[in-house]
Chains A and B, each alone.
Chain A
Amino acid sequence: MTKTMNYYPGCSSQGSGIHLDTSLKAVMGKFGISFREIEDWNCCGASVGHICQGHLPVAALSARNLAAAAAAGPEDVVSPCAACYLNTHHTNEEIRNNPEMKAEINEALGAVGKSYDGSLKVRHVCEVLVKDVGVEALKSKVTKPLTGLKVAGWVGCQTVRPFANTEAGGQWETYDEPSFLDDFINASGATAVPFKAKTKCCGGSVAVMSPDKTLELIKDILDEVKASGAQVVATPCPLCLTNMEMYQPEINKRYGTDFNFPVVFYSQLLALAFGMDAHKDAGLHQGLIPADVVVAAAK
């Protein structure tokens, strides 16, 4: 059985989160799910676009993508990126529920002869893995279980907040104690260790622009990683991953710590456990902190 979905990869898929895109496509292929990329997609505005522009121009970014997706077909729109998902889903809900916003967004789209009526469903890829694929199916594809590898499952914020537990968001997870990531980790044969900072924030884009404010947030999370006994951190969020990787040296300098934890995407663990190539499919050579311990665990 094959299934096509409208895929919105987001800007990080061509940059710092490229290995999420690679490994996720490899994983989804195992379940006959193919991603049809939204034609000529644009940036979603992330968590800063509106600060100098206001609400509507940022909503228009998502609306252009949604209009292009709807023109390609009625299949659900899926995104692997927390911010892309959040913005696209949020705009979609505004179009569905707020007639004034719907009219204004369509007025903007109308300037190029396009329109969008809110007919699509926007979902996070992890929801698709939980509901459409299922954890049991994930386990069934494992040929090289990552036995013995201890992983801290770090969900972060926007993958589950503010939509995962809403009706329109599919009610697939809780906000404070999500279990899907641990389920994915355990499905790969690795062990998801109890981890207290599961939904703690890395500082998001504020960590990129003002690290002095947020280093302590990441340090607190790393303290919990260390306390958990994990060898590696897994996350679904491209910005969480890059922030935690790139600031470990600075945190060590400032706080006298010795953190050196590799950070990987859940999809990299799954691709590897499915017996796929550690580099070409799983992108496990692309960490700023080498993830050799992960590659070595596949047997």
Chain B
Amino acid sequence: MSTYDLNFARWVYENVDGGDKMALCMQCGTCSGSCPLGAQMDYGPRKLFMMVRAGLKDKVLESNTLWNCVSCYNCVVRCPRQVPVKYVLHSLGTAAVRAGIPAATKSDNARFARAFWWSASKLGRTDERIVTALFYFSYGLSKGFKMAMANLPVALGLVKTKRMHIGAPYMCKNKGELKTILAKAAEIEARHAK
């Protein structure tokens, strides 16, 4: 039994990146047909957009479609109506995380994004060692250890070829400045979310 939220489409049009262009979608399916991981999605972007229009809020925000976008931008450049499909999907994913939908907050993508953001915002740089370690251990100690061990040969290969350094991470010098800018940006972002 599906529930319909008749205000959902309007909310998406007004609050999601590229949402203002979604009304232009003519359901041609070029996006779904162009998508590298379309076959693994619960619904392709075309169908998902129709579900947004129909007000199927829960199904949209719980769908794995939001987490199978690989950011290849095929859909963005091919859409005959210039709907920025990739941006819409990622922004819907952000909305699902903010709404606390378990399928979203526990997705690989959200875990990876949290690990990534820690490195990017705290250090000012992506440290590939720290991001992957934080990501692996977000699944708990034992699974994290297993994942880390499975990737050990690659890490050792990168160390051996001097593409992964040993020692303290590279960082921005002025981390305080970055922190202040990001805090202000988050504050402005929160203004919108209300």
Q: What is the interface of chain A, defined by CB distance below 8 A to chain B?
A: 11-12, 14-19, 40-43, 45-57, 59-61, 63-64, 104-105, 107-112, 114, 157-158, 161-162, 165, 175, 200-201, 203-210, 213-214, 217, 246, 249, 285-288
* A59 close to B73 (CB less than 8 A): no
Which one, B22-30, B42-50, B52-60, B108-116, is touching chain A?
B108-116
29 residue pairs bridging A and B, Cβ less than 8 Å apart = A14-B165, A15-B127, A41-B172, A42-B120, A42-B124, A46-B126, A48-B109, A49-B113, A49-B117, A51-B90, A52-B94, A52-B117, A55-B17, A56-B189, A57-B121, A57-B182, A60-B181, A111-B180, A112-B181, A114-B181, A157-B73, A157-B74, A201-B74, A205-B70, A206-B37, A209-B109, A209-B112, A214-B37, A286-B162
Q: How far is the CA of A204 from the CA of B71 in the complex (A)?
A: 7
* A16 close to B126 (CB less than 8 A): no
Asked if B184 is an interface residue, CB under 8 A from chain A, the answer is yes
Q: Which of B108, B153, B170 has the most CB of A within 10 A?
A: B108
Residues from chain B with a CB closer than 8 A to the CB of A40 are 124, 172-174
Chain B, residues 81-114, CB within 8 Å of chain A (1/0): the string is: 0000000001101100110000000001111111
* B113 close to A42 (CB less than 8 A): no
Residue of B nearest to A164 (CB): B77
- Given the interface contacts A112-B181, A162-B76, A165-B77, does A48 sit within 8 Å of B127 by beta carbon? no
Given contacts A52-B97, A157-B73, A209-B135, 11 further A-B contacts (CB under 8 A): A11-B128, A42-B172, A51-B97, A54-B98, A54-B189, A61-B182, A109-B181, A162-B77, A206-B108, A208-B112, A288-B161
- Given the interface contacts A165-B77, A200-B36, A286-B162, does A206 sit within 8 Å of B109 by beta carbon? yes
* A51 close to B93 (CB less than 8 A): yes
Residues from chain A with a CB closer than 8 A to the CB of B1 are none
Residues from chain A with a CB closer than 8 A to the CB of B76 are 161-162
Q: Which of A15, A49, A157, A246 has the most CB of B within 10 A?
A: A15
Q: CB within 8 A of B117: which of A53, A104, A158, A249?
A: A53
Residues from chain A with a CB closer than 8 A to the CB of B165 are 14-15
Within 8 A of A (CB), among B126-152: 126-128, 132, 135
* A14 close to B158 (CB less than 8 A): no
Asked if B157 is an interface residue, CB under 8 A from chain A, the answer is yes
Residues from chain B with a CB closer than 8 A to the CB of A110 are 184
Asked if B65 is an interface residue, CB under 8 A from chain A, the answer is no
* B37 close to A52 (CB less than 8 A): no
Q: How far is the CA of A14 from the CA of B183 in the complex (A)?
A: 26
* B37 close to A14 (CB less than 8 A): no
Residues from chain A with a CB closer than 8 A to the CB of B181 are 60, 63-64, 108-109, 111-112, 114
Chain B, residues 171-194, CB within 8 Å of chain A (1/0): the string is: 011100110111111101100110
Q: How far is the CA of A12 from the CA of B40 in the complex (A)?
A: 29
Q: What is the interface of chain B, defined by CB distance below 8 A to chain A?
A: 17, 36-37, 40, 68-74, 76-78, 90-91, 93-94, 97-98, 108-114, 116-117, 119-121, 124-128, 132, 135, 153-154, 157-158, 161-165, 170, 172-174, 177-178, 180-186, 188-189, 192-193
Q: How far is the CA of A46 from the CA of B111 in the complex (A)?
A: 15
* A52 close to B110 (CB less than 8 A): yes
* B97 close to A112 (CB less than 8 A): no
Q: How far is the CA of A69 from the CA of B76 in the complex (A)?
A: 29
Q: Which of B76, B117, B165 has the most CB of A within 10 A?
A: B117
Residues from chain A with a CB closer than 8 A to the CB of B163 are 15-19, 286
Q: CB within 8 A of A111: which of B68, B69, B174, B184?
A: B184
**Shortest distance from the beta carbon of B142 to any chain A beta carbon, whole Å:** 19
Residues from chain A with a CB closer than 8 A to the CB of B98 are 54
* A108 close to B40 (CB less than 8 A): no
**Shortest distance from the beta carbon of B47 to any chain A beta carbon, whole Å:** 19
* A214 close to B126 (CB less than 8 A): no
Q: CB within 8 A of A158: which of B71, B157, B174?
A: B71
**Shortest distance from the beta carbon of A52 to any chain B beta carbon, whole Å:** 5
Q: How far is the CA of A158 from the CA of B73 in the complex (A)?
A: 7
- Given the interface contacts A57-B189, A205-B112, does A287 sit within 8 Å of B161 by beta carbon? yes
Q: How far is the CA of A50 from the CA of B127 in the complex (A)?
A: 17
Q: How far is the CA of A110 from the CA of B37 in the complex (A)?
A: 41
**Shortest distance from the beta carbon of B159 to any chain A beta carbon, whole Å:** 11
Q: How far is the CA of A111 from the CA of B180 in the complex (A)?
A: 7
Q: How far is the CA of A53 from the CA of B72 in the complex (A)?
A: 21
* B110 close to A51 (CB less than 8 A): yes
Q: CB within 8 A of A288: which of B70, B73, B110, B158?
A: B158
Residue of A nearest to B76 (CB): A162
